[in-house]
Amino acid sequence: MTQSARIVGWGKYLPSRVMTNHEFESFLDTTDDWIVARTGIRERRIAADDETASTMGLAAAREALARAGLEPQDLDLIVTATCTAERIFPACSSLIQHGLGAPHIGAFDVNAACSGFVYALDVARRFVESGAFHNVLVVGTEVFSRLLNWEDRGTCVLFGDGAGAVVLQGAESGGILSSVIGSDGSGADSLYVPGVCASPIDPVVNGHYYVSMNGAQVFKFAVRTVAEATRQAVCNAGLTVDDIDLMIPHQANLRIISSAAEALGMPAGKVFVNVEKYGNTSSASVPIALCEAADAGILKEGQRIALVAVGGGLSWGAMVLEWGGTGVRH
């Protein structure tokens, strides 16, 4: 029997260390004004030495479960979106599962870079909608600060660390209405990090696993694709852009967000933005923003919300959901 997949709990975790733009002025040829004008970012969070993707994801997951009124033993599956896990294997999800105390359920990771959370949410909804599972935890968690070349002002000022999580549960109606995911591997060299298993003759690697980005290409791709993917997801839901009450985009760059919203004809008041506080937290970006919007009381029951993200791949994902409020419905 087909059912809908509804968000019944959410939680986030941000490291305590705040790194402002002014700190970069001491070791980079840049200024706060330069960074803000080009990105909208004013500060970001940096993980402590003992914090990892799994520890941050675990903290966010615990908060999401508490808000949903569920125990770890109530979960049927954990899906984690990350590209900065502390181990190649086992999956970050397995470490979160163990930390929660939810033994023997399925747990795996999804890596679609900054689009990862939307991908993971789409995967999770399929399990719920099919009736195979009732409660699924979806986590987005990243420690991008450990992939940065702190001498490259084109990348190191953009990223931060954090985690967000939601609990999906089967419901009779509402919840996720539509989704779109896609990728164009021909743009892989526009935004990537070399891997530990790359060819030993690859001159790019040399033991340095830093983010490499063609900013101009990624900017053009992001503006175009955020708008296109959102339109497609909205259309698939049988709605128009005017029917959307709030768009929660990937928080990579304020100019990308503003340009995409303008292309959609969506007023600024319908677009949630927190990039100034956290920078680009990759797959944690959308869930952190979703949590902040929910905690601030911006999300109301019955509202239609659009989630959209783009990232390395080059990948994209968009989703339309009907917000259902807090708590489990039995």
Q: Residues 219-236: pLDDT tens digits?
A: 999 999 999 999 999 999
Check: CB of residue 109 under 8 Å from CB of residue 78. no
Q: Which CATH class is domain 4-174?
A: alpha beta
pLDDT of residue 329: 46
Token output for 230: 């959102």
Nearest CA to 255 out of 46, 64, 35 is that of: 35
pLDDT of residue 251: 98
Question: What is the separation of C-alpha 174 from the centre of its chain, rounded to a whole number of angstroms?
Answer: 22
pLDDT of residue 208: 75
pLDDT of residue 330: 40
pLDDT of residue 2: 65
Burial 266-298 (b: 16+ CB within 10 A, else e): beeeebbbbbebbbbbbbbbbbbbbbbbbeeee
pLDDT of residue 209: 85
Runs of H (alpha helix) within 202-253: 215-236
pLDDT of residue 198: 77
Q: Which residue has the tokens 């200024």?
A: 31
> What's the CATH superfamily of 177-322?
Thiolase/Chalcone synthase (3.40.47.10)
Domain boundaries, the chain: 4-174, 177-322
pLDDT of residue 325: 60
Q: What single DSSP character describes residue 159?
A: B
The catalytic residue positions are 114, 250, 280
Q: Do 4-174 and 177-322 share a fold?
A: yes
User: What is the spatial order of strands in the sheet that 135-143 belongs to?
Assistant: 4-13, 161-171, 135-143, 77-81, 106-110
Residues of the chain with pLDDT under 70: 1-2, 200-207, 325-330
